[in-house]
A and B are shown apart, each in its own frame.
Chain A
Amino acid sequence: AQSVAQPEDQVNVAEGNPLTVKCTYSVSGNPYLFWYVQYPNRGLQFLLKYITGDNLVKGSYGFEAEFNKSQTSFHLKKPSALVSDSALYFCAVRDSGSARQLTFGSGTQLTVLP
């Protein structure tokens, strides 16, 4: 079985400060990991993914994420937050040995304060 946890429902950060949105996962095989963002009243947009290779993955809008196998984590980061980054962020995992479906976390609401 595959599962993913986002331990924080809400993250607040001041504009210009670094931000981190946390994600941990559980799979029986190798993980394929994804981050999506949802702006108000819109569908989800893909940000980045880890499949294999370099543990630091760079994605859209200046976001990056670090895959840590020993801690089973895939935290989303950005060096300098913008007010426009305020949105709902979802982490998702797929077990490399299982079916085509993704399992999503419960989401983290990021608010960047001006």
Chain B
Amino acid sequence: DVKVTQSSRYLVKRTGEKVFLECVQDMDHENMFWYRQDPGLGLRLIYFSYDVKMKEKGDIPEGYSVSREKKERFSLILESASTNQTSMYLCASSLADGFTDEQYFGPGTRLTVT
């Protein structure tokens, strides 16, 4: 089975802190994604990566950056956390096709910024 793991299930940070969310997948998937999930808004794509060191902006990249130094690991960085970044963050991965294959999701990190 594909396994996508995220470094923390719950995280509390202060406004202005730099925050790192880590995601690791164990199935040699090419594509990796970061989403945020908010009630009534569904999932919104922040960034995705289709290869090591490659990244593309999603629908809501402002205030975030990403890093993919190794194929299995995709990190989401909040340079200076703000209260409007309080949310559930979901990482996902998929095979190389990228169009027709399903995405596999991690359990999520619930981030609270105070």
Contacts and interface: CB of A to CB of B under 8 A. Distances in A.
Contacts, number: 57
A94 B97 CA distance: 13
B45 A101 contact: yes
B108 to A, nearest CB: 5
Interface in A72-114: 90, 92, 94, 96, 99-102, 104-107
Interface string A13-57: 000000000000000000010101000011111100101000000
A34 B88 CA distance: 21
Contact of A45 (B31, B45, B105): B105
16 contacts: A9-B40, A34-B102, A41-B108, A43-B106, A43-B108, A44-B103, A44-B105, A46-B103, A94-B99, A100-B48, A100-B50, A101-B33, A101-B48, A101-B58, A101-B59, A102-B103
Interface of B: 4, 31, 33, 35, 40-45, 48, 50, 56, 58-59, 90, 92, 98-100, 102-108
